[in-house]
Amino acid sequence: MADNMFVKTLHHEWAVAVLSWRTNLRAALENRIAFGLQVFGMMINDSAFVAVWAIFFTTFGTVNGWDVWDSVGLLGFGTITFGLAFAFFGGAPWINKYVADASFDGILLSPNTVLWRVLTSKTDVAALGDAVFGLILLVLYAVKIQATPEMIGMMFLAIIPGAAITVAMSILSQLPAFFLLDGDSIAMSLYKSFLSPSLYPSALYSDAARIFYTVVIPSILVGGIPVEIVRSQNWLFLLGLWIAALVWVAIAILAFYTCLKKYESGNAIGLRSAN
């Protein structure tokens, strides 16, 4: 009986998420020109990072075993994980706003799981450009290194935990909103402290920095480590990445519901629809 209830609940939560994604995407597609410009604009923005690292490695050559194509792989993993994370779970960066304008009142009235409802409440259209651009970079990287089927499989299996960690860190960066009146700047600073180091090749970090950006702030787990996994073809290394992702997701969920207890209903008149 309990198993049936769990399956029904899981099916319901998934159905609500799919409906939300479909609704958000349809809303974005109502103005196809704006939609296309957002996606294309993000791809152009991402290409700037490729140019920077191309110039760097062309100037200095191989650094600790990394070359310009490894940086392409790094940015490929980084942009596709970011894109998938916020295309599907674009509500994570909105937690601060939901708390500030009392939108959580409506969300708490929803029969759905609160965090899941929050995460799927928004779709970042521009993030689709990141996902597409990241896929293009990974295809180019795979062709350049003459990736075997095993290496290609590792690439895809490294994307999922990377996206999960990205969402988890976005949630954690938003949690000061439950304690501060205006947590926007703090949330942005916290998330940037995770995002910025992920854009640098892990070979540039010292051993101490690698430990810090793996254990304390898991920045290199979304880009640098996946590249090293593919290069080494180490399945245990990949398993460790999945375990780390599960740990960070668990931390984010626990921290969110702990902080949610501090939420006090706002004074806004009326409630947002829970549908």
Q: What is the 3-state secondary structure (H, E, C) of 173-201?
A: HHHHHHCCCCCHHHHHHHHHHHHHHHCCC
Tell me: the pLDDT tens digits for 56-111? 888 888 888 898 999 999 999 999 999 999 989 999 998 888 887 777 777 777 66
Secondary structure letter of residue 203 according to DSSP: G
Contact 86, 124 (CB under 8 A): yes
Query: In 30-88, which residue ranges form alpha helices assigned H by DSSP?
Result: 32-60, 68-88
Distance CA 74, CA 198 (A): 9
Range in 34-43, 72-81, 90-99, 146-155 the model is least confident about: 34-43
Q: What is the pTM of this model?
A: 0.85
Furthest-apart CA atoms within the chain: distance in Å: 65
- Taking residue 274's Cβ as centre, other Cβ atoms within 10 Å add up to 13
The count of residues in the chain is 275
- Which tops the pLDDT comparison, 38 or 185? 185
Six-digit token string for 263: 């939420």
Contact 172, 255 (CB under 8 A): yes
Range in 130-139, 156-165, 261-270 the model is least confident about: 261-270
Distance CA 20, CA 113 (A): 14
Contact 141, 134 (CB under 8 A): no
Which residues face 63 on adjacent strands?
66
Secondary structure letter of residue 221 according to DSSP: G
Q: Convert 109-140 to b/e letters by CB count within 10 Å (16 or more is b).
A: ebebbebbbbbbbbbbbbbbbbbbbbbbbbee
Tell me: the pLDDT tens digits for 208-245? 999 999 999 999 999 999 999 999 999 999 999 999 99
Distance CA 49, CA 138 (A): 15
Confidence of residue 21 (pLDDT cuts 50, 70, 90): low
